[in-house]
Amino acid sequence: MESAHIKTHLHSLGMYVLKILVALIMFMPIIWILTGGFKTLTEFTTTANLFPAHPTTENYQYIFEHSNIWRYMANTFFLMFGATIGTLLSSALVAYPLARMDFTGKKVIFSIIVATMLIPNIALIIPQYIMFGKIGWLDSLLPMIVPAWFAYPYNVFLFRQFFRSIPKELDEAAIIDGCTRPQVFFKVIMPISKPTIVTIGILSCVFWWNELTQPVFYINSDKWRTMTIALMTSFMYTSGNAFVINWASIMAASTFMLVPPMLLYIFGSKYLVGGIKTTGLK
Amino acid sequence: MRRKNQDNKVAYAFILPWIIGFLCFTLFPIIFMVQQSLTNRKLNGVSKFIGLTNYKNMFRSSVFWNSLRVTIFFTIVMVVVTTIWAIIMALLLNSKQRFNGIFQFCYFLPSVVPTVALAYAFRTIFGKNAGLLNNILSMFAGRNIEVNWLYQQNTIYFVVFFITLFTYSTGQMMLIFRSGLSDVPKELYEASNLDGATFIQKFFHITLPMISPLILFNAVSGCVSALNGSFALLYPLTSENGDPNGSTQVLSLLIYKEAFSNMKVGYACALSVILFLVAAVFGGLIFAISKKTVYYED
């Protein structure tokens, strides 16, 4: 009896050790970024101290003085909200009949949506680049925001999964009461879908906040730069013949970029875990 | 009958945004891509029909074959590595103990960090002179270790796949596995405990079959994110050339390089067609495999 007791204790201790080890590995790059922003460039490029020997705020001054960081932030927020609001509204609209109505061609449409989920966006980015060039949208945020208003297959799929879990009697009762389908959607379905809307909204915000690929293809000028491109291009300079990357400033700017997704996670973790359950991804 | 007609109209009104989006941003680009791949279109828009020349050049180019190989290798290994790591983290979090909320925060947070920030952090962590890893290794070895992780063919893959553990796709997989694991009926484990099953036996005979539909879903979405996300990870890490020596030059990097550095947009379209087909083959393969192995509860 006693030895079994010790065994469970050892087992639970072992689990803690493993958990802490994995946590250290996973959190290490974040600590590296956070502390790196407070090191001098010399310290950053010559030592691997985890904590700065002489903490400095010069990198934060540098990124505000040497780049239009406020503009990049504003652009990124604009892109994030523009695309997220669009995809939430349009994807939910499209998912509604797929989950809760009978109509001709439903199976075909749903199959196409699932199939397009498998197309990596990057495979179509060159033809889209030519296309957006022809209508004069290059070097703006339009090639990223406008398509979001026409429903993303992945988000349609998530909304559909959730809508299917709502009892059908709800719609029928509302229709008998004289509601039209759009009224059912906006007044009955959307209000009870809040957890799913928050989940997909957070996922979309994080995606657009972090998106590098599309801005790299579509954006040229400083005016429409997002934070991700700024990180790649704004903190390097030439000194004589040498090409200097201001690593410490990149870490400081990365720290700024970390904050919004981190807040979103803290605010939404309850929804994220629950949302994955209800959307029945499993 | 009239009711059904009415319903059809309403349903299609709801679906209209997707129909427009599908036609304009998916179907048209696919057709346009195939058509443009038959031209010698330049970045400045000048183009002429040249038939299959792009494809002939492509199949003769060792850079292309290398890139195709790297893409397939990268996708398969990334899906396997990230899925296994996500299952490990989910299993750890699934054992009910205190501070699980904090652990989950630590495990998931890296996945919401911008890939470009991660790439830069790891470029310095794996740096030769002031890199964190070399320093830790030197500390343990008691002598100065200076491995050039990022510029050696035999270490770069270790670096790249290690970084994929921190990407968004891994975090999402972990959350999905976690919610799946908590749904495995407790009675199954209790029964097997009575039979004296070991941890490993329980894992392979209960846990794995019960979460196999999740593994399928994660493998599919992992494939798409590997093909899609590789650009955002590798472009800031190893540049469009896929250093060292093209050993990390996946197709998306090559497409970017051909279109914007070499200004050969028509050729980049031909490469895109191939990438599109690679994605289709991966999707088909996973579904074919899953039909045989995935266990669905009725």
Note the pLDDT of residue B186: 83
User: Closest partner residue to A120 among B12, B217, B224, by Cβ?
Assistant: B224
Residue B263 phi/psi, 5-degree rounding, is 60, 25
> In a mutagenesis test of the B interface, which of A32, A122, A251, A267 is the best target, namely the one with the most B β-carbons within 10 Å?
A122
CB of B27 less than 8 A from some CB of A:
no
Cα A126 to its chain centre, rounded Å, is 23
Residues in B closer than 8 angstroms to A97, CB to CB, are: 10-12, 14-15
Note the pLDDT of residue B2: 61
Regions in chain B scoring below 50 on pLDDT: 297-298
| SS3 assignment, position B94 | helix
User: Closest partner residue to A126 among B129, B175, B272, by Cβ?
Assistant: B272
Note the pLDDT of residue B129: 83
Residue A281 has pLDDT above 60, yes or no: no
8 Å CB contact between B58 and B254: no
Tokens of A204: 């979309």
DSSP chain A: -HHHHHHHHHHHHHHHHHHHHHHHHHHHHHHHHHHHTTS-HHHHHH---SS-SS---HHHHHHHHHS-HHHHHHHHHHHHHHHHHHHHHHHHHHHHHHHH---TTHHHHHHHHHHHHTS-GGGGHHHHHHHHHHTT-SSSSHHHHHHHTT--HHHHHHHHHHHHTS-THHHHHHHHTT--HHHIIIIIIHHHTHHHHHHHHHHHHHHHHH--HHHHHH--SGGG--HHHHHHHTTEEEETTEEEE-HHHHHHHHHHHHHHHHHHHHHHHHHHHHHHHHTT--
Is B120 in Cβ contact with A228 (below 8 Å)? no
Across residues A135-140, what is the average pLDDT?
95
Give the list of residues 6+ apart from residue B66 with CB closer than 8 angstroms, or none: B246, B249
Across residues A56-66, what is the average pLDDT?
91
CB of B121 less than 8 A from some CB of A:
yes
A183-197, A217-231, B131-145, B280-294: least confidently modelled range: B280-294
Mean pLDDT of chain A: 90
With tokens 């990596």, the residue in question is A120
Note the pLDDT of residue B144: 86
CB of A99 less than 8 A from some CB of B:
no
Q: How confident is the model at residue A24 (pLDDT cuts 50, 70, 90)?
A: very high
Which tops the pLDDT comparison, B190 or A153?
A: A153
User: Closest partner residue to B259 among A16, A93, A126, by Cβ?
Assistant: A126
Note the pLDDT of residue B296: 58
Helix axes B100-108, A2-36, angle to 10 degrees: 40
User: Closest partner residue to A123 among B10, B232, B272, by Cβ?
Assistant: B272
Cα B293 to Cα A215: distance, rounded to the nearest angstrom: 40
CB of A270 less than 8 A from some CB of B:
no
A151-155, A167-171, B194-198, B254-258: least confidently modelled range: B194-198
Residues in A closer than 8 angstroms to B24, CB to CB, are: 147, 150
Q: How confident is the model at residue A282 (pLDDT cuts 50, 70, 90)?
A: very low
Across residues A1-22, what is the average pLDDT?
83
Note the pLDDT of residue A278: 57
Note the pLDDT of residue A235: 86
Note the pLDDT of residue B298: 41
Residues in A closer than 8 angstroms to B279, CB to CB, are: 118-120, 123
Note the pLDDT of residue A277: 61
Query: Residue A76: which of A218, A225, A193, A221 has the closest Cα?
Result: A225
| SS3 assignment, position B262 | coil
Note the pLDDT of residue B216: 84
Give the A window 68-87 contacts with B, CB below 8 Å: none
Residue B273 phi/psi, 5-degree rounding, is -55, -45
CB of B147 less than 8 A from some CB of A:
no
Across residues A155-168, what is the average pLDDT?
89
8 Å CB contact between A36 and A247: yes
Q: Please, what are the domains in chain B?
A: 61-293 (1.10.3720.10)
Across residues A91-112, what is the average pLDDT?
93
Note the pLDDT of residue A97: 94
